């Protein structure tokens, strides 16, 4: 199945290396990528464009990704945007944080082409 060329992925992570790698992986698949390293960056990006998928790190400064997911899902303009939590936490901890986050899925870091393609394929038909 070909990935939709107009699909926009927002990567949210405070690690610049993860953002750079993630952007490269997304763009290599012919998709649009934009990034946010902070809560301020995230608000700026969301004010200017609506993503089709958000990949969000759990261990963010100021507000953890699972709480941020909960907040974003409460906004009518973003409630339908799938959010995938990312972390290198042990799987049981990640599952526990995911359960109360309102997010649609979770993946373990590191980001890979297969993980991104799987999430885009899963949520591009929603």
Per-residue pLDDT of 20-31, as tens digits, reads 999 999 999 999
Alpha carbons 124 and 4: distance in angstroms, whole number: 7
Tokens of residue 9, six digits = 């992925």
Place of tokens 């200017």: 48
pLDDT by 10s per residue, the chain, length 126: 578 889 999 999 999 999 999 999 999 999 999 999 998 999 999 999 999 999 999 999 888 888 999 999 999 999 899 999 999 989 998 888 888 899 999 999 999 999 999 999 999 975
CB half-sphere exposure, 120, CA atoms < 13 A? 26
The pLDDT value given to residue 61 = 87
Q: Which domains, and CATH codes, for the chain? A: 8-124 (3.40.50.2300)
pLDDT of residue 3: 82
CA–CA dist 59, 123 (Å, integer): 23
Residues 6+ positions from 52 with CB-CB distance below 8 Å: 4, 7, 8, 9, 81, 82, 123, 124
pLDDT at position 62: 85
Quick one: pLDDT at residue 110? 94
């Amino acid at each position: 199945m070909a990935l939709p060329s107009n699909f926009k992925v927002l990567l949210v992570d405070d690690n610049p290396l993860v953002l750079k790698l993630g952007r490269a992986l997304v763009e290599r698949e012919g998709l649009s990528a934009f990034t946010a390293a902070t809560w301020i960056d995230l608000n700026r990006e969301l004010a200017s464009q609506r993503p089709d998928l958000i990949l969000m790190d759990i261990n963010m400064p100021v507000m953890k990704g699972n709480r941020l997911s909960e907040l974003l899902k409460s906004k009518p303009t973003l409630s339908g945007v799938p959010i995938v939590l990312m972390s290198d936490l042990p799987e049981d901890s990640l599952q526990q944080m995911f359960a109360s986050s309102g997010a649609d899925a979770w993946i373990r870091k590191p980001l890979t082409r297969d993980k991104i393609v799987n999430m885009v394929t899963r949520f591009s038909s929603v």
